[in-house]
Amino acid sequence: MVVSRRDDSLYIVVLDDGAGGADAARGSGLAGLADRVSSVDGRLDVDSPPGGPTTLTVELPCAP
């Protein structure tokens, strides 16, 4: 996990070593995470190619 801040945003990047294929739209726990991130005007990006790895990137607004 890597946490960083750039300008007015906080970034959280999580990388796993799984098999890939994660999809935030399929009703998994990622859908709930996407809802929570969206509720604070954030953004969730899921990159999960078949064979892995899966990378989640969360961008959250934060005050300077």
What CATH number belongs to 2-61? Answer: 3.30.565.10
Q: What percent of the chain has pLDDT over 90?
A: 58
State residue 26's pLDDT score.
Answer: 66
Tokens representing 58 are 């969360």
Q: What is the pLDDT of residue 61?
A: 97
What is the reported pLDDT for 27? 66
Q: Per-residue pLDDT tens for 18-44?
A: 877 777 676 678 888 999 999 999 999
Helix (H) or strand (E) holding 60: strand 55-61
Cβ-based neighbours of 32, under 8 Å, separated by 6 or more: none
pTM over 0.85: no
